[in-house]
Structure 1
């Protein structure tokens, strides 16, 4: 079983748990609810990116996948000022990422979330009339390149995979799902 297949299998329950708890229909039913959802995503990504950047296996590979700037762009489009965004709460200390392989396991969750974001973006556009320029850049982060970005991530993950590190990769993904669930699904 490849590491990608193993991750999909072993994180399925965590994925289903967060998807059920997110209550996206309610959270994107209004601009205020949607803005609050983006604030939670901002708090997660800001903390996660700062934590993961130092251990990422390939700095440029990681940098192209950062989402915080897109969330800032969306929040500003929805009326927040830069000084307000800087003061937004961040996710509490994240899981330890002791090695580049742990970062890749954690990235599996974040990159998978990006795939789901394309579906959410369509709902946001239909319900709220927002697009990448008016408040939905985060969920449209890779645009038409989403499949290519996922494939390139998968290739890096497969290359890093080995019997010595695969447990660490899976454990990191599972813990990231837990942290993301607790942060995003907490009632602000």
Structure 2
């Protein structure tokens, strides 16, 4: 079993749990509820990117996948000021990210959510009429490059795979799902 297969199998229950708990239909039904959802994503990504960047195995690779700037763009388009955005709550506590392998495990969850974001973007556009310039840049993050970006990430994971690293990667992915669930599904 490859590391990617192991991740998919061992994180499936956590993935299903968060997907069920998110209640996306309700959270993108109105502009207000959608803004609240983006605020929660901003709080997660802001904290996660800061923690992960300190130990990311490849800074350029990591930074090309950061989403906080896209969330800031969306929140501004939805009417928040820069001051309001900088005062938004940050996800705490975040899971420990003590090593490059841990960052990769956490990135598996974040990058996987980007895949789902493409589907959510279509619903946001249909329901609220928002696009990448008017409040949906985060969910459209990689645009047409989404499959390419996922394949590159998968290749990076497989390059890092080893008996020592795989356990850390899978464990951190599971913890990331738990933290993301608790943060995103908490009543805003």
Query: TM-score of the superposition, structure 1-length normalised?
Result: 0.99
Output the CA distance in 1 between the equivalents of 2:46 and 2:157. 23
CA distance in 1, matches of 2:65, 2:106: 13
Shift of 1:22: 0.2
Tell me the equivalent position of 1:73.
73
Alignment match, 2:63: 63
Aligned-partner Cα distance in 2 for 1:165–1:119: 31
**Residue 165 (structure 1) shift:** 1.1
Q: Give the distance between the partners of 1:154 and 1:135, measured in 2 at CA.
A: 29
d(CA) in 2 for partners of 1:38, 1:97 = 24
- Displacement of 1:164 in angstroms is 1.1
SS at match of 2:55: coil
User: Which 5+ residue runs of structure 2 have no aligned equivalent?
Assistant: none
Q: How far off its partner does 1:93 sit? A: 2.5
Count of matched residue positions in the alignment of Structure 1 and Structure 2:
188
Give the match for residue 26 of structure 2. 26
Secondary structure in 2 aligned to 1:98? Answer: coil
Corresponding position of 1:48 = 48
Query: Which position in structure 2 is the counterpart of 1:186?
Result: 186
Please give the alpha-carbon distance, in whole angstroms, between the structure 2 residues aligned to 1:51 and 1:182. 18
Q: What is the rounded CA distance, in whole Å, between the counterparts of 2:155 and 2:180 in structure 1?
A: 24
Measure how far apart 1:98 and its partner are.
Answer: 1.2
Distance 1:152 1:165 in 2: 19
1:153-168 matched pairs, under 5 angstroms: 153-168=153-168
- Matched residue, 2:17: 17
Distance 1:180 1:98 in 2: 18
**CA–CA separation in structure 2 for the residues paired with 1:131 and 1:50:** 27
Query: Following the alignment from structure 2 to structure 1, what is the Cα–Cα distance between the partners of residues 128 and 164?
Result: 47
Which residue number in structure 1 is paired with residue 126 of structure 2? 126
- Structure 1 residues without counterparts, runs of 5 or longer: none
